[in-house]
Amino acid sequence: MLGPLILAASRSDKMRRFVSAAPGTKQVVARFIAGETVDQVVPIVRDLAGKGLELTLDVVGEDITTVEQSYAARDAYLELIERLKELGLGERAEMSVKLSMFGQSLDGGHDLALANVRPVVEAAAAIGTTVTLDAEDHTTLDSMFAIHEELRKDFPQTGCVIQAYLYRTEDDARRLAANGSRVRIVKGAYKEPAEVAIQDKSEIDKAYVRILKILMEGEGYPMIGSHDPRLIAIGQELARRAGRKLDEYEFQMLYGIRSEEHLRLAAEGHRMRVYTAYGTDWYGYFMRRLAEKPANLLFFARSILTK
Ligand code: FDA
C-alpha cells in the first residue's frame, strides 16, 4: 500500500521541499546516492572498479522545465566522461541517462533530447564505453525507443531499458532481441495505471522471466537489472540453457543495495555492473528507492525523528 503513495509523493513539489529540508535526510540519501559532485563520485568509481565491478553512472535528475537545464544535463555527462578519460576508467564505466533530463518533455522535446544525448554518446564511444537510455514512465517510451534506434545507426552499442510490468514489453523485447540490442530488463519503478501495467507483484515476476527468456534466446546482449535472488538464479539458468558464455550477458544492481551480492556474483566470474547515481537532484531517484522497500521509509522516518 505504501509504495504507490510514495511514488505519488515523488512527483510532488511540496513533498520535495519537505523531504529535502528534513533533518536526517542527507544521511539516508547517502545510502543510495554516491555523492553530489564528480569529485565525490570518483573515489567510489575507483573503489568499485578495484573490486572487479563494472559501473553505469547516472547523473541524477529528471523532469526538467527549461531548455537551459537540458544543456546543463548534457554538460554534466560530458564533464563526467572527461574525468573517466583522465582516470583511464572509460572501459569500466558506462553511462545511464534519463531523456526527461535532456529535455524530452519540453516543447519539441524529442528532437531536443536527441540533440543533447548524441554528443554524450559520441564522447562515451570515444573513450571506449557507451550509454544506456533508462526507461521512465510509459508516456515517454515511444520517444525513447525511437531515439535509441536513431543512435544505434552510428553507435550500435547504445543500450536501452525495458520494464517487465508493462503489457507492451514482450513485443518490445522481441523487436530488440531480433535487432541485436543491449537491453537492460527491470521490473519497473513508476506508478503506472492498470490499463498499461500489471499491478500484481508475482505476475510482474512471471512476466520478467518470460521477457528475459526472449532476450536470452535472441541476438542481443541481455542486462539483468534486479536484486531479486530468485530472478538472479533464473537468469543464470536461462543463460546456461541459451548457451551463453559469461561475457554474453551481465547482471546489474543499484549502488547501496545488496552490495555483498555484487561481490559474490563478480567472484563467480559474472560481469556485474553497479548503477551508481550521483548529483544534487536526487529527490525522484531517492523516492523510488523508498517505494521499492517500505522498510526504507521506516528507517528514513526514524532518522528524521531522532535528529
Ligand atoms: P524487488 O523489489 O522484489 O527486490 C528484491 C530484493 O532486493 C528485496 O527483497 C530487497 O532485499 C532488495 N531491494 C530491492 N529494492 C530495494 C531498495 N530500494 N532498498 C533496499 N533493498 C531493496 N526502473 C525503471 O523503471 N527504469 C529504469 O531505467 C530502471 N533502471 C534500473 C537499473 C538497475 C541496474 C536496477 C537494478 C534497477 C533499475 N530500475 C529501473 C528499478 C527497477 O524497476 C526496480 O524498481 C528495482 O530494481 C526493484 O526491483 P528488484 O528487481 O530489485 O526486485
Residue 88 located in a structural domain: yes
Residue 131 located in a structural domain: yes
Question: What's the CA gap between 59 and 37, in Å, rounded?
Answer: 9
Q: Is residue 252 in contact with ligand 1, taking CB distance under 6 Å?
A: yes
* Mean pLDDT score across all residues of the chain: 94
Q: Residue range 186-193: average pLDDT?
A: 97
This complex has an ipTM of 0.98
Burial zone of 83 (CB within 10 Å; 0-12 exposed, 13-18 middle, 19+ buried)? middle
Instruction: Please report the pLDDT score of residue 307 as a whole number.
Output: 63
Residue 44 located in a structural domain: yes
Give CA torsion, residues 278, 280, 281, 282, to 10 deg. 50
Q: Is residue 8 pLDDT above 90, yes or no?
A: no
Q: Is residue 160 in contact with ligand 1, taking CB distance under 6 Å?
A: no
Q: Is residue 302 pLDDT above 80, yes or no?
A: no
In the residue annotation, 134 being an active-site residue is answered as yes
Is-contact 222 183, C-beta < 8 A? yes
243: left (phi over 0), alpha (psi -120 to 50) or beta: left
Grid look-up 544535463 returns 73
Q: How many helices (H) and strands (E) does the chain have?
A: 13, 8
Q: What are phi and psi of 251, to 5 degrees?
A: -100, 150
Residue 91 located in a structural domain: yes
Exactly one of 58, 134, 172, 205 is catalytic; name it. 134
148: left (phi over 0), alpha (psi -120 to 50) or beta: alpha
Residue 54 located in a structural domain: yes
Residue 207 located in a structural domain: yes
Q: Residue 271's domain is classified under what CATH number?
A: 3.20.20.220
Residue 163 located in a structural domain: yes
- Show the domain range for 101: 34-281
Residue 181 located in a structural domain: yes
Residue of the nearest CA to atom 43 in ligand 1?
188
In the residue annotation, 273 being an active-site residue is answered as no
Q: Is residue 227 in contact with ligand 1, taking CB distance under 6 Å?
A: yes
* Residue 80 Cα to ligand 1 middle (Å): 25
pLDDT digits (tens, 9 = 90+) for 12-30: 888 888 888 888 888 889 9
pLDDT digits (tens, 9 = 90+) for 217-265: 999 999 999 999 999 999 999 999 999 999 999 999 999 999 999 999 9
Instruction: Please report the pLDDT score of residue 298 as a whole number.
Output: 81
70 CB-near residues (< 8 Å, 6+ apart): 64, 101, 102, 103, 106, 112, 113, 116
Residue of the nearest CA to atom 3 in ligand 1?
228
Q: Is residue 167 pLDDT above 80, yes or no?
A: yes
Q: Is residue 293 in contact with ligand 1, taking CB distance under 6 Å?
A: yes
Domain count, the chain: 1
Q: Is residue 32 pLDDT above 80, yes or no?
A: yes
Q: Is residue 100 in contact with ligand 1, taking CB distance under 6 Å?
A: no
pLDDT digits (tens, 9 = 90+) for 255-299: 999 999 999 999 999 999 999 999 999 999 999 999 998 788 887
